[in-house]
Structure 1
Amino acid sequence: MASHYQHLSFEERRKIAKWREGKMPVPEIADRLSRPASTIYRELKRNTFLDAELPQYSGYYAVTAQDKYERRRAVHRKLVAYPEVKAAVEDALKAGWSPEQIAGRMRLEQHRICVSHETIYRFAYSKLGLAEAFYRHLPEHRRRRRPRNHRRHQRSHIQDSQSLCHRPAVVAERQEFGHWECDLMMFRKENGKVNVTSLVERVSRFTVLIRNEDRHSEPIMEALIAGLAPLPAEARQSITFDRGTEFSAWRRLKDGIGAASWFCDPQAPWQKGTVENTNGRLRKHLPRSTEPTALTNRYLRSICQSLNSTPRKCLGYRTPAEVFESNLMALRNRLE
């Protein structure tokens, strides 16, 4: 496999300047730096300082060469060359979009100037980006990218639950609209028992949030019934849960809205990965330190609106709201 080309470093340019001052031939400089001679010739041609008025001061100087190199590279960085694109990217990041979502949406909307998600990351971690603290707008707000930690869950067993292994393949493979995943978002104990139900439709990734006053299962199920009841029956066919005791009253769903219930295997919340991933996104708006008084229905609706209007790579950079509405309209047309 061919190795990637490495640009000359400032230290290498210092050596080139010193050796050129000593009249060292270019082939020998290239040999000492383990570089092709063409690289050195190109460096001298591009970055030699020329003074038309005082030609005696013309020559190759390391600091000047490095400065010319950095300026030339900056011109090719779209977020430097096009301030309006940078402003648009920054606004989208502040709205909670990821670099990948921004890049994908630009391609979907066929912008005149598009950027890749790597371009956004490279700018954020470049010298200029770090000077502006641009990384603070990224989803993780970190100076360096690193793997996310996995959440750990401890869940109790639910008697007579319907195992996920019996869930139809059309649900597991996201081939049918109207199947949901559900979880509870908890907050610090000192803030009381208030929690939030997060509900995500598997095909569209459309999210619904519901406030609960405690973790008692029956009120939680009644709130789910009230939240999903306005939808057509085909749009609320099933819900997948983990085995937390807060979902032990799952039979009420079948009686209330006819929705089937499926349960993950013990200690396997990753089997409902759609809602787990959504919870990670929601934590930006609902950290564990959130006060119960802040969890108003209006605030939860605004969070849902923000999340559902954010383009997703898995949806071809369409938004969950667009996909959900499209499926809902198709469903209603079939029923008419």
Structure 2
Amino acid sequence: MDFEIRGDRTPRGPVKLAAERAAYFQLMQQGMTNGEACRIVGINPKTGRRWRNGRNASGRDTAASPVRPVMPSSGPSRYLDEDDRIYIADRLREKATVRAIAAELGRSPSTVSREIRRNCTVDPRGARHYRPHAAQTRADARRPRPKPRRIGQNPELRDFIQEHLDLRWSPEQICQALRARFPDRPEMHVVHETIYQALYVQGRGELRREPARALRTGRTRRKPRRQAQQRQPRYRDPMVMISERPAEASDRAVPGHWEGDLIIGKDSGSAIGTLVERSTRYVMLLHLPDGRGPELVRDALVETAQTLPTHLKRSLTWDQGSEMGLHREFTLATDIPVYFCDPASPWQRGSNENTNGLLRRYFPKGTDLSVHTRENLDAVAAELNSRPRKTLGRETPAERLLKLLAA
């Protein structure tokens, strides 16, 4: 070789590494990997990758391979143009590797590999040849939008999909059936989004059935999936999140901070409200015989809060259920601020979740909770509050609460 391994590895800038760049590209053309070439030349592998794939604002390598100058381009930097394709054809005839061609063009190797694979010409004998002008013609024909849709162009495919929509198959089931029925015919393969597009986009004329009749959801319009920052507010009044709750509530040192939730009965038709004091684990139950609407939950919470002394009315933490839609009215009536947990974060109300599990022994899932009277709920709460708790040093919640009240 006509170069030496770099001994002095102190930074010298891009200009003074011209010899190393030439040696690097020579080794790459000989079939070495980036790591091997960089080790021999004496450069960091990241430097080699930057030389091979690096681009400036115009999309071209800032200092292309010295083996072959970068061809000028008049087209947009995002796409290969005809000059690029002529250059690829010339280098393929010279038996250059895809990585070497990509480095010289300032492109990703996958871009050049995909171009060769998609736009090759196959002669009658089955041999593949890359002809730049034919490749440019194919690329130009592929670029215009909108493209004709596969379902509209293939009557057999359209009839198959229509027949199975009439049988109330889902688009995903139809796509799987197409691949199973026609494994060797890619023109009969579509993804389920293609079927949804044909149903929902008006004016296509591809499938005759209305979406409301063809799909089990019954929707005539697609339901957008908004990003988290684009979602509509859950409540009319803004929520105050748990991150703004006083620190004294988190360490359980000060009593009067409550966690709340609902346990739901059969077919979501009935509910019981649960309140747990964080410091003492004292339980109170809300009687909701007429349902769990926001007005009913608000009234039950206000009624319960009025039975508490002032120093036990510091805060209430709830999840983001619709039953707390009138949380501001509750706060105005009781002077108790409401803090909301983050979505899908039940551990932020750990005491309440644990208590709900205990309550399920008294109120099993799948049962009608509206049959329980106020007296029944008070009896269950009293039984739980008289049960010793390991977390309270074997004291009961009732005993711990009495100590706090006495103090």
Q: TM-score, normalised by structure 1?
A: 0.50
Higher-Rg member (1/2): 2
Whose relative contact order is higher, 1 or 2, with alpha carbons under 8 Å and at least 6 apart? 1
